[in-house]
Amino acid sequence: MHEQINQYVTQVLLAALALLTVLIKLWLEGLKKKAEAYYEARTTAEQRQTLALLGKEAFSFAETVYLELDGPGKLERAIEYVALKAAAAGIHVPAEEIRAVVEAAWLVDKRKELPVVELEDTTTLKVTGETE
């Protein structure tokens, strides 16, 4: 009888241990998914920041080095520059995104060239009917 009790206790302990193992494994899988999502989001943010900087650099490079080229030619050279630098940094992005970062750099630069609109000075307006 004592042997049967030991056998039942052993089976219950093994079942509890198996259940605990399954629960720990599920918990670790959940942690792994959260860590992967965080890593992916963080990497993507850093890559986007790097691409934006590369776009500015490529735009400046094309504008200063390829003076003889027209706009589309400079754009192609800037896209090639970003593609090479991104690949060297281990960032793999489609050509559309590379063009987008160069175009964004161009827009930022062109906004600097827009004429400044001055407003009239409205502090010296007289109100009629006032006595001094």
The domain in which residue 30 lies consists of 2-113
Confidence at 113, pLDDT banded by 50, 70, 90 = low
Give the number of domains in the chain.
1
Residue 70 domain flag:
yes
Separation between Cα atoms, residue 132 and residue 129, nearest integer Å: 10
pLDDT at residue 131 in the model: 53
Tokens representing 26?
């599920």
% of the chain with per-residue pLDDT over 90:
35
Residue 94 domain flag:
yes
Residue 67 domain flag:
yes
pLDDT at residue 83 in the model: 93
DSSP codes, 19-75: HHHHHHHHHHHHHHHHHHHHHHHHHHHHHHHHHHHHHHHHHHHHHHH-TTS-HHHHH
Q: What is the mean pLDDT of residues 95-123?
A: 75
pTM over 0.85: no
Confidence at 132, pLDDT banded by 50, 70, 90 = very low
pLDDT at residue 43 in the model: 60
Q: Are 58 and 102 in contact (CB under 8 A)?
A: yes
More confident residue, 39 or 110: 110
Residue 128 domain flag:
no
Residue 82 domain flag:
yes
Residue 76 domain flag:
yes
Q: How far is CA 41 from CA 31, 44, 45, 64, 89, in A?
A: 15, 5, 6, 35, 18
Residue 123 domain flag:
no
pLDDT at residue 106 in the model: 87
User: What are the tens digits of pLDDT across the range 49-84?
Assistant: 888 899 999 999 998 898 898 889 999 999 999 999
Closest CA to 74 of 106, 101, 122, 46: 106
User: What are the tens digits of pLDDT across the range 12-39?
Assistant: 999 999 999 999 999 988 888 887 777 6
